[in-house]
A = this chain, B = another copy of it.
Amino acid sequence: MSVTLIARPPGAGGSCDDCPLLDCAQFLALSPPLRTLLAGLMQGQAIAIEGAEIVAAGQPGELFTLHDGWAYRWTALADGRRQIIDFHLPGDLIGVEAALGGPVTHSVTMLTSGVLCRFGRPDLARLLADHPALGELFLRSAMAEIRSLERSVAALGRMTATERLATLLVGLYRRSSAINRVAPGSRSCFFPATQRHLADAAGLTPTHVNNTLRHLREQGIATLSGRLLTVHDLPELTRLAGHDAAPPGRRLLL
C-alpha cells in the first residue's frame, strides 16, 4: 500500500487556503480557527497511482482526504466474490475507521491515479478533547455515511438491475456536481469506473450491467462511454433511482 504512495514535494499542491474544494457547498462549514487547525494537521500530500491500496483490510492505516481522483471501498467474500461498498470522489474522507484504531474490514483502492492529503494517525481522543466542535462534525459526517449505506442496502435488497444502476449513476453524478465537476450547461462528468466496477457495486454481473446500460442508453436516459457519463434525462434517472430530491448530507472536509 504505502509503497505505492509517492510523497509530493512540499508546496507543489499549493496552500490549503487555495483548495478548490473549499468552494463547494457540499461540505460542512468550519470556523476559520478550526480550518487553520485542520490544515496544520496535514502532513503533506502523496500521489497514489491507479490500483494502489490506500487502506488494506485488517491492517493499520492512516487518515486521508482524497484530493484528486477516484477510489473505491470494497470487501471480498471468502471465495473471491467482490462487493464494492462505495466510490470515493475528491473531498471524501478516507480511513476514519483506521485512524480510530478500530478493526478495518474493508480495503480502499485507487480507481484512478490521484492525490491524497495525509493526516497520519492523529490522536483523535486528544483532538476531540481540545476541539469539541470537531466531535459533532465527525459525528455528522459519520451519520451522512450511514444514510448513504442505508440507501445502498435498500437498493441492493429491493431494487431491480435498472434501478440499482440508476441509483449508482445518479448518486455519482450528483456528487460530481456537488464538487463542481460538472461544467455549467453540461450534462456530463468524468466517470472512470468500468462496467466491472459497476457490477461489483450493484451486485450484478458485468454482462447484465452491459445489457442494462444499453437499455438506459436506448431509452435516452443516460450514456456511459469512454470514461464519461452523460445524463440526458436527469428526472427520469432520478425517478428510477427512487431518490427523493433531498441532497446528500454535508460532510466534513479536512
Contact = CB atoms under 8 A, between A and B. Distances in A.
Interface of A: 73, 75, 77-78, 81-83, 85, 96-97, 100, 102-103, 105-106, 124-125, 128-130, 132-136, 138-140, 142-147, 149-154, 156-159, 200-203, 242, 246, 249
Contacts of A156: 153, 156-157, 203
Contact of A135 (B77, B128, B147, B246): B128
Contacts of A129: 132-133
Given A100-B143, A103-B249, A153 B151 contact: no
Q: Top 10 closest A-B pairs, CB basis? A: A135-B135, A157-B203, A156-B156, A142-B142, A129-B132, A149-B149, A83-B154, A128-B135, A81-B158, A83-B157
- What is the count of identical protomers in the complex? 2
6 contacts: A75-B150, A83-B153, A96-B139, A102-B249, A103-B249, A139-B139
Contacts of A202: 157
Contacts of A97: 143, 146-147
A85 B150 contact: yes
A156 B129 CA distance: 38
B136 A124 contact: yes
B105 A147 contact: yes
Contacts of A128: 128, 132, 135-136, 139
